[in-house]
Amino acid sequence: MRRFRAGTFEREQMPRALRKFSPAASLVRVEQVDLDALKAAGKRVVLLDVDNTLLPWREHDFPQPVLDWIAHGKSLGLEFCILSNTRHPKRLKRLSDELGVPFIRAKYKPSRQMYDMALEKYGVKPEQAVMVGDQLLTDVLGANRAGIDAFWIRPVASREFVGTMVISRNVERVLGHMLHDYFQPSEESVVATKPGFFEHSVIRQFLKFCLVGGMSTVIDLGLHYVLMFKVTAGDTTLAHVVGEWFWNLTHSAPYLTEKDLIDSAYAPLKVPVVLLAILNSYYWNRRWTFRVDKAHGHGEMISKFFVVALIGMVLNVVVGTTINRLLHIDAEARWAGASLIATAVVVFWNFTGQKLWTFRKASK
């Protein structure tokens, strides 16, 4: 994410799957975590990440504001504990001794093991603890899995472990843009760098649309594959039964090969799973991608959605069936190739139609 801003997140409004990655709040520096407010709210334990949260990665000297912040917390009677994924326990021990804060190393975050160990160590419930860290995929996700509120801190330096930089930060960037729709900036909100490509709403909507489409595609392709190749009907497969029925319905001559049956079964077994995938897409695109207000009725909108989606289904079936007939390879490979090509063609049609027609007024 090119911009990191301080503020809070409306977690109750998020889809449940996204909520797992959402902090309670984001802050630019660790010392902005209001320890007095935490104490007043009944918090007793503050769990801490180290690298790029309290000090730069691989450094050994804590900034004075961090030391003062921890000293103030101790004066309030708060307990502190470090939870670290570090591969250098000797350095962790030195940092722990310098802060006068114990540490726990166990199964790597986002496993909840370290969090549960800390709760047991201090004899507190999850709602009496908070986690402070710089990574959504480890610190925040692990805390949420353990039922602990988390504060997401802007990394104090850009230098970090290559795996974190290449994998975690890129995934985090996508998640950050998804969380942005539920973000309420604070007065201390700051812009880290200039707005980038992903700051455009249409790009964020397209990415969300693709994620929802990916979920629907799994439903579509997964169920279709199971119906085509795994479900049996007596001594034969469902595809053979349906293929023979559809062949006799549409042809006057008897079928010649097994390929004729598989080709005939493709379309009738495709239609019901595509309809199920359309319902899934409508629900999530209305609620999450385009965030339609409840004031907008379902009737007209779902009608438009189905018109666009059904045209997309026709394109899907026509393109998929045509490619399936043209390819002369193994049946499962032929099915996979036809399905992927058809999906690629339809995704742009669906996004354009849904954005510019179905959700046009609601998006405004």
Q: What is the pLDDT of residues 170-198, one digit of tens each?
A: 888 888 888 888 888 876 554 444 445 55
Q: Is the pLDDT of residue 40 over 90?
A: yes
pLDDT value, residue 294: 61
* Residues contacting 323, CB < 8 A, separation 6+: 337, 338, 341, 342
Q: Would you say residue 1 lies in a domain? A: no
Within this chain, do residues 252 and 280 fall inside the same structural domain, yes or no? Answer: yes
Within this chain, do residues 185 and 278 fall inside the same structural domain, yes or no? Answer: no
pLDDT value, residue 144: 96
* Residues contacting 228, CB < 8 A, separation 6+: 238, 239, 262, 265, 266, 269, 335
Mean pLDDT for the stretch of residues 71-80: 96
* Residues contacting 355, CB < 8 A, separation 6+: 202, 205, 209, 290, 363
Mean pLDDT for the stretch of residues 325-332: 84
Q: Which residue has the higher pLDDT, 54 or 58?
A: 54
Within this chain, do residues 220 and 92 fall inside the same structural domain, yes or no? Answer: no
pLDDT value, residue 97: 94
Q: Would you say residue 332 lies in a domain? A: yes
Within this chain, do residues 265 and 207 fall inside the same structural domain, yes or no? Answer: yes
Q: Which of 197, 214, 231 is the last residue of a domain?
A: 197
Strand 236-237 to strand 103-104: parallel, antiparallel, or no bridges (unpaired)? unpaired
Within this chain, do residues 243 and 335 fall inside the same structural domain, yes or no? Answer: yes
Within this chain, do residues 221 and 170 fall inside the same structural domain, yes or no? Answer: no
Within this chain, do residues 216 and 190 fall inside the same structural domain, yes or no? Answer: no
User: Quick check: 144 and 21 in contact, CB under 8 A?
Assistant: yes
Within this chain, do residues 162 and 131 fall inside the same structural domain, yes or no? Answer: yes
Residue among 219, 215, 217 nearest 17 (CA): 215
* Residues contacting 47, CB < 8 A, separation 6+: 80, 81, 82, 83, 115, 118, 129, 130, 131, 132, 143, 148
Question: Which residue shows structure tokens 């114990």?
Answer: 102
Q: Which residue has the higher pLDDT, 335 or 30?
A: 30
What is the count of structural domains for the chain? 2
Within this chain, do residues 312 and 177 fall inside the same structural domain, yes or no? Answer: no
According to DSSP H, which parts of the chain are helical?
A: 16-19, 35-40, 64-75, 89-99, 113-122, 141-145, 162-163, 169-179, 201-229, 238-250, 258-284, 298-326, 331-353, 360-363
Q: Tell me the C-alpha distance between 143 and 46, whole Å.
A: 11
pLDDT value, residue 200: 60
Within this chain, do residues 313 and 344 fall inside the same structural domain, yes or no? Answer: yes
Within this chain, do residues 210 and 272 fall inside the same structural domain, yes or no? Answer: yes
Residue 130 DSSP SS3: strand
Q: Which of 146, 174, 197 is the last residue of a domain?
A: 197
Within this chain, do residues 183 and 234 fall inside the same structural domain, yes or no? Answer: no
β-sheet bridge partners, residue 25: 8, 151
Here the CATH number for the domain that contains residue 151 is: 3.40.50.1000
Q: Which residue has the higher pLDDT, 194 or 258?
A: 258
Q: Tell me the residue range of the domain where 224 lies.
A: 202-363
pLDDT value, residue 188: 55
Q: Which of 197, 225, 247 is the last residue of a domain?
A: 197
- Cα 127 off chain centre by: 24
Q: Would you say residue 2 lies in a domain? A: no
Percent of the chain residues topping a pLDDT of 70: 93
Please give the DSSP secondary-structure letter assigned to residue 289: I
Question: Which residue shows structure tokens 């790009």?
Answer: 203
